[in-house]
Amino acid sequence: PKTAAIVLCFAYGRPAFPVATHVFRVGKRIGFLPAKISADNAHPVMEAIAPPADYYQFHIHLIQHGRDTCHARKPACDRCPLTAHCDYFAALD
């Protein structure tokens, strides 16, 4: 599903929501995705969050947030603007 969604979204401009590594990590930490969901099963869940016209930008922003702030190891929670909405951050206390 990820590769097909990437091709549809980026090459053809079609409404598809790729769930890549950063998207999956951020989605789980923020609470968009349940803890025990697979990346393949996460696609329809993520697609239900935003309207199809916004998939591309939503995907890009989640990727950027995962790269810049919500790292796999040592996320920079101290500079994250989403801590008020983040299940991961809430569990740190």
Show pLDDT as tens, one digit a residue, over the chain (93 residues). Answer: 889 999 998 899 899 999 999 999 999 999 999 999 999 999 999 999 999 999 999 999 999 999 999 999 999 999 999 999 999 999 997
**pLDDT for the residue numbered 1:** 82
**pLDDT for the residue numbered 43:** 93
**pLDDT for the residue numbered 62:** 97
Secondary-structure percent of the chain, ordered helix, strand, coil, rounded to 5: 60, 0, 40
Which tokens hold the place of 64?
């950027």
To the question of domain 2-92 being in CATH 3.40.228.10, the answer is no
